[in-house]
Protein backbone atom coordinates (compact mmCIF):
# COMPACT_ATOMS: atom_id res chain seq x y z
CA UNK A 1 0.00 0.00 0.00
CA UNK A 2 2.78 2.43 0.89
CA UNK A 3 4.42 1.83 -2.51
CA UNK A 4 1.46 2.56 -4.78
CA UNK A 5 2.36 6.18 -5.48
CA UNK A 6 5.94 5.10 -6.31
CA UNK A 7 4.62 3.12 -9.29
CA UNK A 8 4.38 4.69 -12.70
CA UNK A 9 0.83 5.13 -13.95
CA UNK A 10 1.38 2.30 -16.42
CA UNK A 11 2.67 -0.01 -13.69
CA UNK A 12 -0.34 0.83 -11.54
CA UNK A 13 -2.77 0.27 -14.42
CA UNK A 14 -1.24 -3.13 -15.13
CA UNK A 15 -1.33 -4.08 -11.43
CA UNK A 16 -5.02 -3.12 -11.29
CA UNK A 17 -5.76 -5.24 -14.36
CA UNK A 18 -3.95 -8.21 -12.80
CA UNK A 19 -5.84 -7.70 -9.50
CA UNK A 20 -2.53 -7.32 -7.66
CA UNK A 21 -3.90 -4.01 -6.33
CA UNK A 22 -7.61 -3.37 -5.94
CA UNK A 23 -9.26 -0.20 -7.19
CA UNK A 24 -10.28 0.59 -3.62
CA UNK A 25 -6.71 0.19 -2.37
CA UNK A 26 -5.49 2.56 -5.05
CA UNK A 27 -8.14 5.18 -4.33
CA UNK A 28 -7.63 4.94 -0.58
CA UNK A 29 -3.89 5.36 -1.01
CA UNK A 30 -4.16 8.48 -3.14
CA UNK A 31 -6.90 9.98 -0.99
CA UNK A 32 -4.59 9.56 2.00
CA UNK A 33 -1.82 11.29 0.06
CA UNK A 34 -4.21 14.15 -0.75
CA UNK A 35 -5.26 14.48 2.90
CA UNK A 36 -1.61 14.66 3.91
CA UNK A 37 -0.18 16.92 1.21
CA UNK A 38 -2.97 19.08 -0.18
CA UNK A 39 -3.14 21.55 2.75
CA UNK A 40 0.39 22.69 1.90
CA UNK A 41 0.08 22.57 -1.89
CA UNK A 42 -3.45 23.76 -2.72
CA UNK A 43 -3.80 21.28 -5.57
CA UNK A 44 -7.40 20.23 -4.88
CA UNK A 45 -10.36 22.55 -4.43
CA UNK A 46 -12.88 19.72 -4.11
CA UNK A 47 -12.21 16.18 -2.85
CA UNK A 48 -14.89 13.59 -3.63
CA UNK A 49 -13.68 10.76 -1.40
CA UNK A 50 -16.99 9.02 -0.79
CA UNK A 51 -17.94 9.04 -4.49
CA UNK A 52 -14.49 7.76 -5.40
CA UNK A 53 -14.55 4.89 -2.94
CA UNK A 54 -18.04 3.88 -4.06
CA UNK A 55 -16.85 3.86 -7.68
CA UNK A 56 -13.75 1.87 -6.71
CA UNK A 57 -15.86 -0.74 -4.92
CA UNK A 58 -18.02 -1.12 -8.01
CA UNK A 59 -14.90 -1.47 -10.16
CA UNK A 60 -13.59 -4.25 -7.92
CA UNK A 61 -16.94 -6.04 -8.03
CA UNK A 62 -16.95 -5.76 -11.82
CA UNK A 63 -13.48 -7.31 -12.03
CA UNK A 64 -14.44 -10.11 -9.61
CA UNK A 65 -17.47 -10.91 -11.76
CA UNK A 66 -15.24 -11.34 -14.79
CA UNK A 67 -16.49 -8.26 -16.62
CA UNK A 68 -14.44 -6.62 -19.39
CA UNK A 69 -11.95 -4.10 -18.05
CA UNK A 70 -11.58 -0.61 -19.44
CA UNK A 71 -8.19 0.78 -20.40
CA UNK A 72 -8.05 2.79 -17.15
CA UNK A 73 -9.88 0.32 -14.91
CA UNK A 74 -9.66 1.59 -11.33
CA UNK A 75 -7.16 4.37 -12.12
CA UNK A 76 -7.50 7.38 -9.78
CA UNK A 77 -7.33 10.80 -11.37
CA UNK A 78 -8.88 14.26 -11.02
CA UNK A 79 -10.15 17.02 -13.26
CA UNK A 80 -9.48 20.73 -13.47
CA UNK A 81 -12.22 22.84 -11.93
CA UNK A 82 -13.15 23.98 -15.43
CA UNK A 83 -14.61 20.61 -16.45
CA UNK A 84 -17.98 19.32 -15.33
CA UNK A 85 -18.25 16.10 -13.35
CA UNK A 86 -21.89 15.10 -12.88
CA UNK A 87 -23.04 15.70 -9.31
CA UNK A 88 -19.94 17.74 -8.38
CA UNK A 89 -19.60 21.51 -8.08
CA UNK A 90 -17.82 23.39 -10.88
CA UNK A 91 -16.39 26.72 -9.76
CA UNK A 92 -14.22 27.93 -12.67
CA UNK A 93 -11.88 29.58 -10.19
CA UNK A 94 -14.05 32.67 -9.93
CA UNK A 95 -16.05 34.50 -7.27
CA UNK A 96 -18.23 36.07 -9.98
CA UNK A 97 -20.26 32.90 -10.46
CA UNK A 98 -22.09 30.89 -7.84
CA UNK A 99 -20.60 27.38 -7.81
CA UNK A 100 -23.10 25.04 -9.43
CA UNK A 101 -23.50 21.28 -9.30
CA UNK A 102 -22.92 19.91 -12.79
CA UNK A 103 -25.89 17.97 -14.22
CA UNK A 104 -23.71 15.89 -16.54
CA UNK A 105 -20.10 15.07 -17.34
CA UNK A 106 -18.07 17.13 -19.77
CA UNK A 107 -17.28 15.08 -22.92
CA UNK A 108 -13.68 14.35 -21.85
CA UNK A 109 -14.80 13.32 -18.37
CA UNK A 110 -17.38 10.99 -19.91
CA UNK A 111 -14.72 9.43 -22.14
CA UNK A 112 -12.30 8.75 -19.29
CA UNK A 113 -15.09 7.46 -17.05
CA UNK A 114 -16.02 4.96 -19.76
CA UNK A 115 -12.36 3.95 -19.77
CA UNK A 116 -12.69 3.03 -16.09
CA UNK A 117 -11.04 6.04 -14.44
CA UNK A 118 -12.14 7.08 -10.96
CA UNK A 119 -12.27 10.78 -10.11
CA UNK A 120 -10.96 11.87 -6.72
CA UNK A 121 -12.00 15.52 -7.10
CA UNK A 122 -11.38 18.83 -8.81
CA UNK A 123 -8.06 20.69 -9.04
CA UNK A 124 -7.09 24.34 -8.75
CA UNK A 125 -7.14 26.71 -11.73
CA UNK A 126 -6.79 30.45 -12.33
CA UNK A 127 -9.99 32.36 -12.96
CA UNK A 128 -11.65 30.84 -16.04
CA UNK A 129 -8.34 29.15 -16.87
CA UNK A 130 -6.97 32.39 -18.29
CA UNK A 131 -3.49 32.47 -16.81
CA UNK A 132 -0.12 30.72 -16.67
CA UNK A 133 -0.44 30.37 -12.88
CA UNK A 134 -3.12 28.73 -10.73
CA UNK A 135 -4.09 31.46 -8.28
CA UNK A 136 -7.54 33.00 -7.79
CA UNK A 137 -9.67 34.84 -5.25
CA UNK A 138 -11.66 31.75 -4.22
CA UNK A 139 -9.24 29.22 -2.75
CA UNK A 140 -5.56 28.83 -1.88
CA UNK A 141 -3.10 28.90 -4.78
CA UNK A 142 -1.59 25.78 -6.28
CA UNK A 143 2.00 25.64 -5.06
CA UNK A 144 4.99 24.02 -6.69
CA UNK A 145 6.02 20.76 -4.97
CA UNK A 146 9.65 21.52 -5.82
CA UNK A 147 9.46 24.77 -3.82
CA UNK A 148 6.18 25.70 -2.17
CA UNK A 149 6.92 29.42 -2.34
CA UNK A 150 6.72 29.21 -6.13
CA UNK A 151 3.96 28.90 -8.69
CA UNK A 152 2.93 25.50 -10.01
CA UNK A 153 2.14 27.13 -13.36
CA UNK A 154 -1.23 27.14 -15.02
CA UNK A 155 -3.85 26.80 -15.89
CA UNK A 156 -3.47 23.11 -15.05
CA UNK A 157 -1.34 23.98 -12.02
CA UNK A 158 -3.39 22.12 -9.44
CA UNK A 159 -3.31 19.04 -11.63
CA UNK A 160 0.45 19.27 -12.21
CA UNK A 161 1.24 19.82 -8.55
CA UNK A 162 -0.88 16.81 -7.62
CA UNK A 163 0.89 14.54 -10.10
CA UNK A 164 4.36 15.81 -9.19
CA UNK A 165 3.67 15.35 -5.47
CA UNK A 166 2.32 11.82 -5.89
CA UNK A 167 -1.29 12.69 -5.11
CA UNK A 168 -2.27 11.37 -8.55
CA UNK A 169 -0.59 8.89 -10.91
CA UNK A 170 -1.18 11.17 -13.91
CA UNK A 171 -3.66 13.85 -14.89
CA UNK A 172 -5.76 15.16 -17.78
CA UNK A 173 -5.31 18.86 -18.46
CA UNK A 174 -6.36 21.23 -21.20
CA UNK A 175 -4.16 23.67 -23.05
CA UNK A 176 -5.36 26.90 -24.69
CA UNK A 177 -2.09 28.83 -24.59
CA UNK A 178 0.26 26.47 -22.79
CA UNK A 179 -1.91 25.30 -19.90
CA UNK A 180 -0.61 21.72 -19.95
CA UNK A 181 2.98 22.47 -20.96
CA UNK A 182 3.56 25.38 -18.57
CA UNK A 183 2.68 23.60 -15.31
CA UNK A 184 4.31 20.39 -16.51
CA UNK A 185 7.54 22.31 -17.05
CA UNK A 186 7.24 24.13 -13.73
CA UNK A 187 6.70 20.91 -11.77
CA UNK A 188 9.14 18.64 -13.59
CA UNK A 189 6.65 16.60 -15.62
CA UNK A 190 6.06 15.73 -19.26
CA UNK A 191 3.21 17.74 -20.76
CA UNK A 192 1.72 17.02 -24.19
CA UNK A 193 -0.47 19.34 -26.23
CA UNK A 194 -1.91 17.22 -29.07
CA UNK A 195 -2.83 18.33 -32.57
CA UNK A 196 -6.19 20.05 -32.71
CA UNK A 197 -8.72 17.30 -33.42
CA UNK A 198 -6.64 14.38 -32.17
CA UNK A 199 -8.94 14.08 -29.16
CA UNK A 200 -12.53 13.94 -30.47
CA UNK A 201 -14.01 15.63 -27.39
CA UNK A 202 -12.06 18.80 -28.22
CA UNK A 203 -13.75 19.50 -31.55
CA UNK A 204 -17.38 18.62 -30.88
CA UNK A 205 -18.14 22.32 -31.43
CA UNK A 206 -15.89 22.64 -34.48
CA UNK A 207 -12.30 23.67 -35.18
CA UNK A 208 -12.86 27.42 -35.06
CA UNK A 209 -14.37 29.69 -32.42
CA UNK A 210 -17.49 31.83 -32.77
CA UNK A 211 -15.49 34.53 -34.58
CA UNK A 212 -13.82 32.10 -36.97
CA UNK A 213 -10.42 32.08 -35.26
CA UNK A 214 -8.49 28.83 -34.85
CA UNK A 215 -9.79 26.95 -31.82
CA UNK A 216 -6.99 27.20 -29.27
CA UNK A 217 -7.84 24.74 -26.51
CA UNK A 218 -7.14 21.02 -26.62
CA UNK A 219 -6.90 18.35 -23.94
CA UNK A 220 -3.63 16.65 -23.08
CA UNK A 221 -1.87 14.50 -20.48
CA UNK A 222 0.45 15.52 -17.64
CA UNK A 223 2.62 12.60 -16.57
CA UNK A 224 5.92 11.56 -15.05
CA UNK A 225 6.97 9.38 -18.00
CA UNK A 226 6.38 9.29 -21.75
CA UNK A 227 4.69 5.89 -21.46
CA UNK A 228 2.32 7.21 -18.80
CA UNK A 229 1.47 10.15 -21.06
CA UNK A 230 0.87 7.76 -23.95
CA UNK A 231 -1.52 5.66 -21.86
CA UNK A 232 -3.61 8.67 -20.89
CA UNK A 233 -3.50 10.10 -24.42
CA UNK A 234 -4.82 6.83 -25.84
CA UNK A 235 -7.67 6.82 -23.31
CA UNK A 236 -8.54 10.40 -24.21
CA UNK A 237 -8.65 9.54 -27.92
CA UNK A 238 -10.37 6.14 -27.88
CA UNK A 239 -10.48 3.99 -24.73
CA UNK A 240 -10.65 0.83 -26.85
CA UNK A 241 -7.24 1.25 -28.55
CA UNK A 242 -3.79 1.57 -26.98
CA UNK A 243 -2.29 2.65 -30.30
CA UNK A 244 0.34 5.10 -29.05
CA UNK A 245 1.37 3.05 -26.02
CA UNK A 246 1.74 -0.12 -28.07
CA UNK A 247 3.93 1.66 -30.62
CA UNK A 248 6.19 3.17 -27.95
CA UNK A 249 6.48 -0.18 -26.18
CA UNK A 250 7.13 -1.94 -29.48
CA UNK A 251 10.33 -0.20 -30.54
CA UNK A 252 9.29 3.30 -31.63
CA UNK A 253 11.62 4.87 -29.07
CA UNK A 254 14.75 2.93 -29.98
CA UNK A 255 14.21 3.13 -33.75
CA UNK A 256 13.67 6.88 -33.98
CA UNK A 257 16.82 8.52 -35.39
CA UNK A 258 17.93 11.04 -37.99
CA UNK A 259 15.27 13.73 -37.55
CA UNK A 260 15.99 17.24 -38.75
CA UNK A 261 15.46 19.42 -35.69
CA UNK A 262 15.48 23.21 -35.91
CA UNK A 263 16.54 25.09 -32.77
CA UNK A 264 14.86 28.43 -32.07
CA UNK A 265 14.88 30.90 -29.20
CA UNK A 266 12.79 33.46 -31.06
CA UNK A 267 9.33 34.30 -29.71
CA UNK A 268 6.46 36.02 -31.55
CA UNK A 269 6.03 38.20 -28.44
CA UNK A 270 9.49 39.75 -28.96
CA UNK A 271 8.01 42.48 -31.15
CA UNK A 272 6.14 43.84 -28.12
CA UNK A 273 7.90 42.66 -24.96
CA UNK A 274 11.49 42.10 -23.95
CA UNK A 275 12.00 38.33 -23.98
CA UNK A 276 15.04 37.40 -21.93
CA UNK A 277 16.18 33.82 -21.36
CA UNK A 278 17.58 33.07 -17.93
CA UNK A 279 20.79 31.03 -17.62
CA UNK A 280 18.69 28.07 -16.46
CA UNK A 281 16.68 28.19 -19.70
CA UNK A 282 19.88 28.18 -21.75
CA UNK A 283 21.21 25.27 -19.69
CA UNK A 284 18.01 23.29 -20.21
CA UNK A 285 18.10 23.93 -23.95
CA UNK A 286 21.76 22.89 -24.15
CA UNK A 287 20.96 19.67 -22.28
CA UNK A 288 18.11 18.92 -24.66
CA UNK A 289 20.31 19.55 -27.69
CA UNK A 290 22.97 17.23 -26.31
CA UNK A 291 20.48 14.46 -25.55
CA UNK A 292 18.87 14.61 -28.98
CA UNK A 293 22.24 14.75 -30.73
CA UNK A 294 23.38 11.68 -28.83
CA UNK A 295 20.36 9.81 -30.21
CA UNK A 296 21.41 10.49 -33.78
CA UNK A 297 19.23 13.45 -34.70
CA UNK A 298 20.48 16.35 -36.81
CA UNK A 299 20.17 19.70 -35.05
CA UNK A 300 20.62 23.14 -36.60
CA UNK A 301 19.66 26.72 -35.94
CA UNK A 302 16.22 27.35 -37.40
CA UNK A 303 15.49 30.31 -39.62
CA UNK A 304 12.10 31.49 -38.38
CA UNK A 305 10.50 34.92 -38.59
CA UNK A 306 7.31 35.81 -36.76
CA UNK A 307 4.69 38.34 -37.83
CA UNK A 308 4.93 41.46 -35.68
CA UNK A 309 1.12 41.57 -35.55
CA UNK A 310 1.05 38.40 -33.45
CA UNK A 311 0.93 39.91 -29.92
CA UNK A 312 -2.02 42.21 -30.54
CA UNK A 313 -3.86 39.73 -32.75
CA UNK A 314 -3.48 36.87 -30.30
CA UNK A 315 -4.55 39.04 -27.36
CA UNK A 316 -7.69 40.12 -29.21
CA UNK A 317 -8.68 36.55 -30.03
CA UNK A 318 -7.70 35.23 -26.60
CA UNK A 319 -9.91 37.75 -24.79
CA UNK A 320 -12.87 37.93 -27.20
CA UNK A 321 -14.71 35.06 -25.54
CA UNK A 322 -14.80 36.91 -22.23
CA UNK A 323 -17.48 39.21 -23.61
CA UNK A 324 -19.86 36.25 -23.75
CA UNK A 325 -19.06 34.91 -20.27
CA UNK A 326 -22.38 34.54 -18.40
CA UNK A 327 -21.59 36.87 -15.50
CA UNK A 328 -24.79 37.78 -13.61
CA UNK A 329 -25.69 41.43 -13.33
CA UNK A 330 -23.99 43.11 -10.41
CA UNK A 331 -21.28 40.46 -10.00
CA UNK A 332 -18.63 41.75 -12.39
CA UNK A 333 -16.92 43.54 -9.50
CA UNK A 334 -16.18 40.09 -8.08
CA UNK A 335 -13.97 39.25 -11.05
CA UNK A 336 -10.23 39.31 -10.50
CA UNK A 337 -8.16 42.18 -11.87
CA UNK A 338 -7.08 40.44 -15.09
CA UNK A 339 -10.44 38.92 -15.98
CA UNK A 340 -12.36 42.11 -15.17
CA UNK A 341 -10.06 44.34 -17.21
CA UNK A 342 -9.93 42.03 -20.21
CA UNK A 343 -13.69 41.43 -20.13
CA UNK A 344 -14.29 45.20 -20.17
CA UNK A 345 -12.08 45.51 -23.24
CA UNK A 346 -13.71 42.57 -24.96
CA UNK A 347 -17.19 43.92 -24.25
CA UNK A 348 -16.27 47.37 -25.62
CA UNK A 349 -14.64 45.91 -28.74
CA UNK A 350 -16.57 46.09 -32.00
CA UNK A 351 -17.46 42.69 -33.42
CA UNK A 352 -15.74 43.52 -36.71
CA UNK A 353 -12.48 43.97 -34.83
CA UNK A 354 -12.73 40.47 -33.41
CA UNK A 355 -13.70 39.06 -36.79
CA UNK A 356 -10.72 40.73 -38.45
CA UNK A 357 -8.39 39.46 -35.73
CA UNK A 358 -9.71 35.93 -36.26
CA UNK A 359 -8.89 36.08 -39.96
CA UNK A 360 -5.45 37.55 -39.29
CA UNK A 361 -4.63 34.91 -36.68
CA UNK A 362 -5.56 32.21 -39.16
CA UNK A 363 -3.08 33.69 -41.62
CA UNK A 364 -0.38 33.85 -38.96
CA UNK A 365 -1.10 30.22 -38.06
CA UNK A 366 -0.66 29.12 -41.68
CA UNK A 367 2.64 30.99 -41.92
CA UNK A 368 3.97 29.36 -38.75
CA UNK A 369 3.01 25.90 -39.99
CA UNK A 370 4.85 26.58 -43.25
CA UNK A 371 8.01 27.83 -41.55
CA UNK A 372 8.11 25.10 -38.90
CA UNK A 373 7.32 22.53 -41.58
CA UNK A 374 10.82 22.86 -43.00
CA UNK A 375 11.91 20.77 -40.02
CA UNK A 376 10.70 17.49 -38.60
CA UNK A 377 10.67 19.11 -35.15
CA UNK A 378 11.29 22.62 -33.83
CA UNK A 379 13.09 22.77 -30.47
CA UNK A 380 12.65 25.73 -28.11
CA UNK A 381 13.16 26.36 -24.41
CA UNK A 382 10.08 25.30 -22.45
CA UNK A 383 9.99 28.46 -20.30
CA UNK A 384 12.11 31.60 -20.25
CA UNK A 385 13.00 31.38 -16.56
CA UNK A 386 12.36 29.39 -13.41
CA UNK A 387 8.86 29.42 -11.89
CA UNK A 388 8.09 32.75 -10.18
CA UNK A 389 6.88 33.24 -6.64
CA UNK A 390 3.21 33.06 -5.72
CA UNK A 391 1.72 36.51 -6.29
CA UNK A 392 4.22 37.49 -9.00
CA UNK A 393 1.37 38.05 -11.45
CA UNK A 394 -1.70 38.72 -9.34
CA UNK A 395 -0.14 41.59 -7.38
CA UNK A 396 0.03 43.67 -10.58
CA UNK A 397 -2.34 45.60 -12.83
CA UNK A 398 -3.82 43.61 -15.72
CA UNK A 399 -1.34 44.72 -18.36
CA UNK A 400 1.71 43.99 -16.22
CA UNK A 401 0.23 40.64 -15.22
CA UNK A 402 -0.30 39.71 -18.87
CA UNK A 403 3.14 40.95 -19.92
CA UNK A 404 4.83 38.88 -17.22
CA UNK A 405 2.91 35.80 -18.32
CA UNK A 406 4.04 36.29 -21.91
CA UNK A 407 7.64 36.81 -20.79
CA UNK A 408 7.61 33.60 -18.72
CA UNK A 409 5.89 31.56 -21.46
CA UNK A 410 7.04 33.12 -24.74
CA UNK A 411 6.97 29.88 -26.77
CA UNK A 412 3.67 28.21 -25.90
CA UNK A 413 0.65 30.12 -27.22
CA UNK A 414 1.99 30.15 -30.78
CA UNK A 415 1.62 26.36 -30.89
CA UNK A 416 -2.06 26.61 -29.94
CA UNK A 417 -2.56 29.11 -32.73
CA UNK A 418 -0.91 26.75 -35.22
CA UNK A 419 -3.01 23.75 -34.16
CA UNK A 420 0.13 21.59 -34.13
CA UNK A 421 1.30 19.28 -31.34
CA UNK A 422 4.04 20.10 -28.83
CA UNK A 423 5.55 18.48 -25.78
CA UNK A 424 7.59 19.82 -22.87
CA UNK A 425 10.18 17.59 -21.23
CA UNK A 426 12.45 18.18 -18.21
CA UNK A 427 16.14 18.33 -19.13
CA UNK A 428 17.86 20.24 -16.33
CA UNK A 429 17.67 20.54 -12.55
CA UNK A 430 18.90 23.79 -10.99
CA UNK A 431 21.12 23.99 -7.93
CA UNK A 432 17.97 24.78 -5.96
CA UNK A 433 16.19 21.65 -7.18
CA UNK A 434 13.88 23.32 -9.71
CA UNK A 435 13.09 21.75 -13.06
CA UNK A 436 13.65 23.35 -16.45
CA UNK A 437 13.13 21.81 -19.85
CA UNK A 438 12.61 22.07 -23.55
CA UNK A 439 9.61 22.19 -25.87
CA UNK A 440 9.42 20.20 -29.08
CA UNK A 441 6.91 21.23 -31.77
CA UNK A 442 5.94 18.54 -34.27
CA UNK A 443 4.01 18.23 -37.48
CA UNK A 444 0.28 17.54 -37.43
CA UNK A 445 -0.46 14.12 -36.00
CA UNK A 446 3.08 13.50 -34.73
CA UNK A 447 2.20 12.82 -31.09
CA UNK A 448 3.85 9.38 -31.21
CA UNK A 449 7.08 10.90 -32.50
CA UNK A 450 7.07 13.61 -29.84
CA UNK A 451 6.48 11.07 -27.08
CA UNK A 452 9.31 8.92 -28.44
CA UNK A 453 11.62 11.95 -28.39
CA UNK A 454 10.51 12.74 -24.85
CA UNK A 455 11.36 9.17 -23.85
CA UNK A 456 14.77 9.45 -25.51
CA UNK A 457 15.55 12.65 -23.62
CA UNK A 458 14.28 11.20 -20.35
CA UNK A 459 16.51 8.16 -20.70
CA UNK A 460 19.70 10.20 -21.02
Cite the active site residues: 80, 155, 179
Question: In the chain, what are the helix, strand and coil shares in percent, each to the nearest 5?
Answer: 45, 15, 40
The CA distance from 145 to 161, in Å, is 6
- What is the SS3 assignment for 257? coil
Contact by Cβ (8 Å): 424, 181: yes
Nearest to 193 by CA among 437, 425, 15: 425
The CA distance from 315 to 369, in Å, is 20
298 phi, psi to nearest 5 deg: -105, 115
276 phi, psi to nearest 5 deg: -120, 125
The CA distance from 458 to 411, in Å, is 21
The CA distance from 153 to 156, in Å, is 7
Three-state secondary structure string covering 362-430: HHHHHHHHHHHCCCCEEEEECCCCCCCECCCCCCCCHHHHHHHHHHHCCCCHHHHHHCCCEEEEEEEEC
The CA distance from 192 to 327, in Å, is 32
Contact by Cβ (8 Å): 241, 179: no
- What is the SS3 assignment for 313? helix
- What is the SS3 assignment for 59? helix
Please report the DSSP string for 213-234 in residue order: PBP--EEEEEESSHHHHHHHHH
* Helical spans, DSSP H, in 98-176: 107-114, 157-164
429 phi, psi to nearest 5 deg: -115, 125
Which helix (H) or strand (E) segment is 441 a member of? Answer: strand 435-442
- What is the SS3 assignment for 46? strand
Q: How distant is the alpha carbon of residue 87 from its chain centre?
A: 24
Amino acid sequence: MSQISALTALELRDALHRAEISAREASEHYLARIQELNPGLGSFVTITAERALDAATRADEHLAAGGPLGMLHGMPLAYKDLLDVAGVVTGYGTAALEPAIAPRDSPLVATLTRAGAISLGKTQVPEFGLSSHSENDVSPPARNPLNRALSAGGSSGGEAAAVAAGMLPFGPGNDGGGSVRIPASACGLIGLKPTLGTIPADVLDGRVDSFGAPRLTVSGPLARTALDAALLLDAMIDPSCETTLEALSGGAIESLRGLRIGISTLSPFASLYEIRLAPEAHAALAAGIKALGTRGHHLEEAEIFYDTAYPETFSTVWTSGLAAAPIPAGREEKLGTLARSFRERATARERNTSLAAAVRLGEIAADMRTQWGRYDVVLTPAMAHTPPEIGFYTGQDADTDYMRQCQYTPFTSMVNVSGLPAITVPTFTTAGGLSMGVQMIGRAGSELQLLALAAQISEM
